[in-house]
Structure formats: C-alpha cells, structure tokens
Amino acid sequence: MGLYDQLTIFTGNANPELARKVCAYIDIPLGRIEVFKFSNENIFVRIGESVRENDVFVIQSFSSPVNESIMELLIIIDALKRASAGRITAVIPYYGYGRTDKKDQPRVPITARLIADMITVAGADRVLTIDLHAGQIQGFFNIPVDEMTALPILARYFQEKQLSNPVVVSPDLGSTKRARNFADELNAPLAIIEKRRKGNNDQTELLNLIGDVRDAEVILIDDEIDTAGSITQAAELCLARGARTIYAACTHPVLSGPAVERLARSPIQELVVTDTIPLPPHKHLEKITVLSVAPLLGESIQRIHTGASVSLAYRSAARLRWPSVG
C-alpha cells in the first residue's frame, strides 16, 4: 500500500482550481464528488467513491457566495461522516465571518464562533486554514486547528524585487503584529496608520501615520482586502507623506463592492495577493499579481496525513518556487 493510498481530497464549488493544484502538488487525483443545487436552492452532495476509513480533506474557502460555500462544506462533511470516513479535515483557506469574532457592540452575534460550532457538529475532526482575521478564532473550535500563514510567500515575492528602500506599513493598529512579522522577513522598518472606523458601513477615517515613509517604497500589508477603502486611503496618505512607490499585499482578495474600481484609480502600483479566494475575470486588474498557496496547503496536508510536524511545512514547501498564477 502506498503512502497516500488512503488520503483523499475533495472540493466544493468555492475554489476547485486551488484544490486541483494541491492534488497536483501531492500527486494524487482529486476525489470524485457531485455538489449542486436543485431548483429550490437546496444543495445536494453525492460522494463518487468509497471513503471508508480514509483520511479525507475537504478544500472549501468561504468565498462568494459566502453562505452557500459554508453550507456546501457542512453538507459535504455530513456526507463523508455518513460514508464512514476515517478522519475529516476541513481545509478552509479563507475563513469568512472572521471579522465577527467578538461582541464589540450591544446585541450583536459572534458569528465566527457560530460557524466553528457548525463545522464541529457537522463532523469535522480537524481544521486547516490560512491567516485567520483574529487569532482567537482558533479557540472557538473544540477540535485541532492548524493555522498557516501566507506571509512567507508574499515576503519572498518582495525580496526578489530587491527594493532599495522598503518600508512596511500597517493600514491599521489591528494589523500591526502581522506587519511587524512581514517587516522582519524583509529586514525593513515598520510604519503604522492609526484609523477610526465609522459604524458598520465600511467607511473609515484615517487619523495619523506613525513612522517615516519619505522616499520609501511602501508595502501595505493586511490579511484581507474587502471593499479596499482602508488600503486605498492608506496608500493616498503614504503618497501625501512623500512615499516614492506604493505596493500592497494581502492573503485574501475578497474585493467586494467598489474594491476593483477603487484599486484601479488608487496610487497602488501593484497589489500582490494569493489564490485562497478565486478572482473572477471582472476582478483581474493588470496591477494584481496572484501567488499560489497550493504548495503550502499540499505540504501541510501531507504532514497531517503522515503525523509529521505541520510547523515545518514552510521549510519543505520552500524548496519549490512559489508560483505566480496571474
């Protein structure tokens, strides 16, 4: 019996291309599955092969349509459980609802916790994810959670640019730790933008830039870009403070609402993202570069399957060049 004979990977409809790349990295076929909606919008799943006692991984980002992607994952997990899968790992490259991780207003939900409970109740035994919006979401699960990060992938891309005077800028105080780690990877100084959010309407008010970006090649770094309001305002502020060139990078390119239009007319020269979320054609701007997380996920899945250290996945996957996919 081969090492991966009982390793099976399935995917829903959220990001099948990423799942195919992960399978290509491991050199196994993608599992056969049907996932579709009836005319009444009910989701139906049929597993097309035996999974009895197999180590099964389901790759499904919570990308648009978000609620449908979540329901697909839950139903797939339920189908696998009822088909006697040995262990089920939910691979969630992008964990939607991550921003709703605490009660910061009266009478509001903690939806990130609710989703964690749903995944556990559905029958998942483990979760593998990338760059959660808030680290405490790991604690919302009563099953093991492996959170990987795409920062080394993004950092390597900028290292290869050999920028002469890079400065990493955090677009808000909440992203400071992530930006500091990214700056350490590049051996670059750090600057921080202090901002205040106005209610729940995705509008922000920039207050201050802490640090020096004059004549610098600025790299704005965040975990996700949603409507692109914060990142484009941050870029304009850096430009006003004398930045020479402005780049931006994030793991999850949500790019909802007016994001593409804002980015197109912003002073950001290049936006570097990963393929945790697929970009439809209308969101593909010339200034957007997409790097693949498939080697990172593939290496992590192999290590979970064989019982090896997942924390060493970065080192093993780094032997291959992180591919650009767009």
Q: Assess whether pLDDT exceeds 80 at residue 178.
A: yes
The residue with greater pLDDT, 198 or 141, is 141
Looking at the fold, whether 11 and 139 belong to one and the same domain comes out as: yes
Active site residue 102: no
pTM, 2 dp: 0.93
Query: For the domain that residue 90 is a member of, what is the CATH number?
Result: 3.40.50.2020
Name the catalytic one among 21, 195, 283, 287.
195
Rounded distance between C-alpha atoms, residue 307 and residue 271, angstroms: 36
pLDDT number for residue 86: 97
Where do we find the tokens 């579709």? Answer: 36
Question: Looking at residue 199, what is its pLDDT?
Answer: 61
The predicted pLDDT at position 1 comes to: 57
**Residue 123 predicted with pLDDT over 70:** yes
Q: Which residues pair with 252 in a beta bridge?
A: 224
Q: According to the model, what pLDDT value does residue 286 have?
A: 95
**Strand extents, DSSP E, the chain:** 7-11, 33-37, 43-47, 55-59, 87-92, 126-130, 145-148, 166-170, 190-198, 203-210, 217-225, 245-253, 270-274, 288-291
Q: Assign 46 a pLDDT band (cuts: 50, 70, 90).
A: very high
Residue of 123, 134, 122, 44 lying closest to 96 (CA atoms)? 134
Note whether 33 and 140 are same-domain residues: yes
Sequence-separated (6 or more) residues with CB below 8 Å from residue 245: 217, 218, 269
Residue 151, classified by CB atoms within 10 Å of its CB into exposed (0-12), middle (13-18) or buried (19+), is buried
Are both 128 and 51 inside the same structural domain?
A: yes
To the nearest whole percent, how much of the chain has pLDDT over 90? 86
Least confident of 164-173, 177-186, 194-203: 194-203
Same-domain check for residues 41 and 52: yes
Residue 323 in any domain: the answer is no
Q: What value does the mean pLDDT of the chain take?
A: 93
Is position 279 within any domain? Answer: yes
Across-strand partners of 139?
none
Does residue 326 carry a pLDDT above 60? no
Q: Which amino acid would we find at residue 93?
A: P
Q: What is the pLDDT of residue 174?
A: 84
Domain co-membership, 158 together with 268 = yes
The model's pLDDT over 198-245, given as tens digits with 9 standing for 90+, comes to 666 656 565 789 999 999 999 999 999 999 999 999 999 999 999 999
Nearest residue to 319 (alpha-carbon basis) of 298, 289, 288, 301: 298
Tell me, yes or no, whether 306 and 257 share the same domain.
no
What does the pLDDT look like over 54-67, one tens digit per residue?
A: 999 999 999 999 99
Q: Could you tell me the residue range of the domain that residue 211 belongs to?
A: 151-291
Q: Could you tell me if residue 1 is inside a domain?
A: no
Instruction: Specify whether 44 is located in the same domain as 118.
Output: yes
Q: In which band, very low, low, confident or very high, does the pLDDT at 155 lie, cut at 50, 70 and 90?
A: very high
Q: Are 119 and 94 in contact (CB under 8 A)?
A: no
